[in-house]
Each structure stands twice: as C-alpha cells, then as structure tokens.
Amino acid sequence: MAIRFGTSGWRSVIADEFTYENVRLVTQAICTYLKVSSGENHKTVIIGHDSRFMGENFAEVASHIAKSKGFRVLLCKNQTPTPTISNAIRIEKAAGGINFTASHNPPEYQGIKFSTADGAPALPEITKQIENFIENNSQAETVVGGTIEEYDARPAYLDDLKTKTRFDLIAQAKGRYAFDALWGTGRGYLDKILRDHNLEVETIHDWRDVTFGGRSPEPGEDHLDELRETVTTKKLTLGLATDGDADRFGIIDANGKFITPNKLVALLSDYLAESRGWKEGVARSVATSHLIDKIAEKRGLKLYETPVGFKFIGELINEDKIILGGEESAGLSIKGHYPEKDGILACLLAAEAVAVRGKSLSEQLEELYSRVGKLESGKIGVKLTDEIARSLKEKLLLEPSEIDGRRIESINRLDGVKFIFADGSWMLLRPSGTEPLVRIYAESENREDLEVLLEQGRRYLLG
C-alpha cells in the first residue's frame, strides 16, 4: 500500500490503512524530512490531535518516535484545533507540527496534517519527499536527548485572536450567539473568547463524541438544522459552527439562512477592504465564486487564483500579498494571520461585520449584490468508479467548443478542467483530494440556471 498525501494531509479509514504501523512510518518520514531540511537549527516539533477516535493514542505514538529522533516534542494536552497548532509552531519557533485529524471526513477516518515551520500546510513538493522517504524506508538515526513535554496551545492562540478581531466593537453591539461545535475542537475556543468579552453564547454539541453524531463533522447547511432552530427560536444574532479540527466554518444568519462559504468569503473581502483600509489583493481557489473577482475589480484589488488546497493561499498570506484568501470549502485566512485556514477567526469576523455595519449578513449581501451583481454557485459529487476514473483522464484533456449548446469562451486547467462560458457562467470538473469523488462545481447568475449547469456537468462527465 502506498501512502499518499492529498489536498490536506494523509487520511484513511481507522484499522484499515490508518494503523499504528503506518502512523509510525509516516511520523518517521516526517522526522527524516525535518532533519534533512532544517538540520540542527530547529529541534522542536508540535504534536496534537482532534476529538476523533484514538487521537491521543496516535499522538502519543508519534511523540515517542519524534523523541527518539532527538526532537523536543511539545505534546498538546487537550484536543487542539489545526489553526491553534499553526500559531504554536510560530510562537515556539518549531521545525513543524503534526496534527492527528481527518478534519470534516466521516468518523471512521483518521488523518495526519503536517505543517512546516511557518505554520502552513506542507506544499506538494514537501509531501512528495515525505512519500519517498516512506517508500524507501529512509529514517533519521535514533539519538538520545529527545524530550516530551505537555503543552497547552490555547492561551497564546486566544490572545493572538484578540489582535485580529475588533472585540471592543463586537461587545458594544451586544450580539447574542449560538455555537455548534459539532463535537469537535472548536469547543472551549470560540465560545470561550466570546464569553470572555461578556457576550451571550449558547453552545450545542460541545462534548466529545468520536462518532460525531453518526455523520461527518462538516459545518455545511445540511448538518446545521439544530443550530438554525436555536438561532430562529431564540432570535439570536448569528449561529456559528466549526468542523472537527476547527479550520472550517459554518454560518447561520439571524433569519435562519445558511450563508454559503462562497458568499461569506466575498462579503468579508469587501468588509476588510472597507474597515481596515487594506489595499493588497484577494485570493480564491479555482473552485471558488467569481463574486470575489467582482469585489476585487470594484475595490481596485489584485485577484489571485490558486489550485484547490489552502497551502497555495497560505503562500500568498506569507508573502503579504493579500488581505484575505478563501475557498468554497469554508477555508479562510487574512493578512497578518497564519498561512492556514481558521474557522474560528472566520466566525469572529462574521460577528464583527454584523456588529460594525449594524446589519445582518443577508442584508449586507443584498447591498453587495446591488453594487457588483449577483452570482449563484454550487457543487455536486459523483462517486469515482474505476470506469469514471479511466474516462476522466480523457475528459480532462478534451477541448470542446460547447457543452449542451453553451459556447465555451476559455478553458482553465490550473486544477482539473474549468470551462468558462461566453455568458460568464462556468463549470469545473475536478477529482477530490480527500474523498473518492469527482466534484463538479458551477456558477451562474441565477439559481435555476445553476441547477441546469450542474446537471449538464454530470452528463458531460458520465457521457
């Protein structure tokens, strides 16, 4: 079995491919990479886990391997969000960090996210080296002098959030919030920092359940019915949610409407340009709404388009080229923050935008549409069978002039294949980097045409 890193780390089913033996192999390969790349200059590594089954056990195994290679291991003593580990890496000047998490995947999955010394997800050229070390069984030598120390990453992370968010203005507005932790690591973080500023927060699903209620801990619209009910019946300002490792967000507006990640990324791009006066660019993945393009044009900001995977946006954050970078899959970070997506920060910025502008997110979106125009985006997944996998390779190489009568203006192969049509609508076909699916993304000016476009994409893929 070949261990391969996808869009966001290595993930597999527990007791199938995700075993103690393979955890040892991956950890040894990561330690080898760190020794080769940083030598003796960095000897600290942060290791943590989310609330998934056996997370603490896998983290302990990894810690002892890193210790045997001479590293000073800071082992997070509680379930820890991925962005919190990014902050810890930077504060401790660590060589890197390992987090045991499968993020929003179903509960039978576990995973490893590896972050480099800048706190960013490892880039493909780095994970390829790690894969080669695994295949060749290359191991850094065992040495004495390594240590394992218990570490609490939460206080420094929460303090850092206070420098990125206008809590004084949020507190003045006296909003009332509900927070759905989805049994993940956001509990004790997002709710705590709001309560620390004397704000009312009602929490749901804020205890550990390794089955995540029997479903994926994904803060999508179809998983937030209880949050919606809480917000609407108690007339709260916002409903906030984070996924299993708190790097993704979900938002329910006061009227009960789910604010899609595409729309929140666009709205916050506009809000930060206005409220902070920042002039750098904005970034989106190839699968993310072109509503961000419209805002960039209106605000005079440079637009950056990246492949799917937040590590590519993270590079732009590190280079201080953007005020905000976001993905349709609910990943977001901003200027001066970590080069890693942060669902907790995204929720706080949504609360800040409502507090400062004095209008709900839905009202702010309507105003935004009146200035730049409206777009509707969506996606569907098609199971990746062997037959589809074979035909997909051919489909990604074709250059049709039209699809179902829609004239193709241009074709973008940055990641998958993206057909941009003459009317401004578009369709993207791309194999998922985390699940056995082909995803079809699309965007058009209205919901009805979007549904037609997605079905046309399905027929094109299967035809």
**243 found inside a domain:** yes
Quick: pLDDT tens for 276-327.
999 999 999 999 999 999 999 999 999 999 999 898 999 999 999 999 999 9
pLDDT tier at 444, thresholds 50, 70, 90: very high
Buried b (16+ CB within 10 A) or exposed e, 138-153: ebbeeeeebebeebeb
Q: Are residues 427 and 366 in the same domain?
A: no
Q: Are residues 184 and 170 in the same domain?
A: yes
Give the amino acid at 384.
L
- In terms of Cα–Cα distance, which of 9, 3, 4 is closest to 341? 9
User: Which parts of 104-185 are beta strand (E)?
Assistant: 109-116, 147-151, 176-180
Proportion of the chain above pLDDT 70, given as a percent: 98
pLDDT of 463 reads 78
- CATH number of the domain that 395 lies in? 3.30.310.50
Q: Are residues 332 and 209 in the same domain?
A: yes
Q: Are residues 201 and 324 in the same domain?
A: yes
**318 found inside a domain:** yes
Q: Are residues 230 and 148 in the same domain?
A: no
- Helix extents (H) in 300-385: 310-318, 343-357, 361-372
Mean pLDDT of 192-208: 97
pLDDT of 145 reads 87
Quick: pLDDT tens for 26-70.
999 999 999 988 765 569 999 999 999 999 999 999 999 999 999
Give the amino acid at 240.
L
Q: Are residues 404 and 320 in the same domain?
A: no
CA distance 125 to 216: 29
Q: Would strands 331-334 and 200-204 be described as parallel, antiparallel, or unpaired?
A: unpaired
Please check the confidence at residue 6 and state whether its pLDDT lies above 90. no
Please check the confidence at residue 88 and state whether its pLDDT lies above 80. yes
pLDDT tier at 413, thresholds 50, 70, 90: very high
Q: Are residues 338 and 435 in the same domain?
A: no
CA distance 59 to 43: 18
Q: Are residues 199 and 327 in the same domain?
A: yes
**Residue recorded with tokens 């899609």:** 260
pLDDT of 37 reads 84
pLDDT tier at 143, thresholds 50, 70, 90: confident
**Residue recorded with tokens 């080898």:** 32
The residue from 152, 179, 199 where one domain ends is: 152
Mean pLDDT of 442-459: 95
Q: Are residues 108 and 236 in the same domain?
A: no
pLDDT of 393 reads 79
Q: How far is CA 400 from its chain centroid?
A: 33
- CATH number of the domain that 60 lies in? 3.40.120.10
pLDDT tier at 434, thresholds 50, 70, 90: low
Mean pLDDT of 99-110: 95
Proportion of the chain above pLDDT 90, given as a percent: 87
Structure tokens at 10: 């290595």
**1 found inside a domain:** no
The residue from 94, 120, 152 where one domain ends is: 152
**420 found inside a domain:** yes
Mean pLDDT of 414-429: 95
Quick: pLDDT tens for 220-236.
999 999 999 999 999 99
pLDDT of 42 reads 64
Q: Are residues 233 and 363 in the same domain?
A: yes
- In terms of Cα–Cα distance, which of 307, 326, 316 is closest to 263? 326
**2 found inside a domain:** no
pLDDT of 386 reads 80
The residue from 152, 185, 214 where one domain ends is: 152
**129 found inside a domain:** yes
SS3 state at 36: helix
343-357 vs 82-91: helix crossing angle, rounded to 10: 100
- State the Cα torsion 52-56-62-66 to the nearest 10°: 130
Quick: pLDDT tens for 240-275.
999 999 999 999 999 999 999 999 999 999 999 999
pLDDT of 345 reads 98
Task: State the chain's mean pLDDT as an integer.
Answer: 94
Q: Are residues 107 and 228 in the same domain?
A: no
**203 found inside a domain:** yes
pLDDT tier at 1, thresholds 50, 70, 90: low
Please check the confidence at residue 435 and state whether its pLDDT lies above 70. yes
Q: What are phi and psi of 4, to 5 degrees?
A: -125, 135
Q: Are residues 276 and 228 in the same domain?
A: yes
Mean pLDDT of 442-456: 96
Structural domain boundaries, residue 129: 10-152
Angle at 389 between CA 386 and CA 391, to 5 degrees: 110
For the chain, the domain total comes to: 3
pLDDT of 298 reads 96
CA distance 149 to 171: 37
Structure tokens at 319: 């280079």
**3 found inside a domain:** no
Helix or strand holding residue 412 (H, E): strand 406-412
Quick: pLDDT tens for 335-387.
999 999 999 999 999 999 999 999 999 999 999 999 999 999 999 998 888 88
